[in-house]
Structure 1
Amino acid sequence: MSKICQITGKKAMVGNNVSHSKRRTKRTFDVNLFRKKFYWVEQDCWVVLRISTAGLRLINKIGLDAAIKRAAEKGFLNA
């Protein structure tokens, strides 16, 4: 499974490691992802999501149902 948040759509970014001598080598900045289990009251079932911390804050702010609907509209949710 790829490292993409199912709620916000965040994914890994590419940047540079910069040494003391200013030599640059490529690196990736991974998203802070974790698997979290939520109880979806409207559907009366448990849902396991792979989300970032920003996605968790969004769910706490607007609710699980609204966050899932927003992610489905934007195409982030693949279920």
Structure 2
Amino acid sequence: MTNPVPLHDDSPARIAALEERAAHQDRTIEVLSDQLAEQWKIVEQLRTKLDRLTERFLVLEESALEAPPITRPPHY
């Protein structure tokens, strides 16, 4: 980035530097916003997968809790 121009300087160079800085910051904000939106999509996908896996786990856990009935072996 260029060296800052003194605040008391109202020259066209100062104005151009400020406009350049503002444009650079606008672009940075746009890039960060796009990255945030993409990461939010990924978070939502992972949340959906986690919900499905949690449901599958609960179903498996419920079926595992059903113990077979205790019966006497045939040789007794």
TM-score range, shorter chain: under 0.3
Q: Judging by fraction of residues, say which structure has more strand.
A: 1
Q: Judging by fraction of residues, say which structure has more helix.
A: 2
TM-score (structure 1 length as normaliser): 0.19
Bigger relative CO (Cα 8 Å, ≥ 6 apart):
1
Q: Which has the larger radius of gyration?
A: 2
TM-score (structure 2 length as normaliser): 0.19
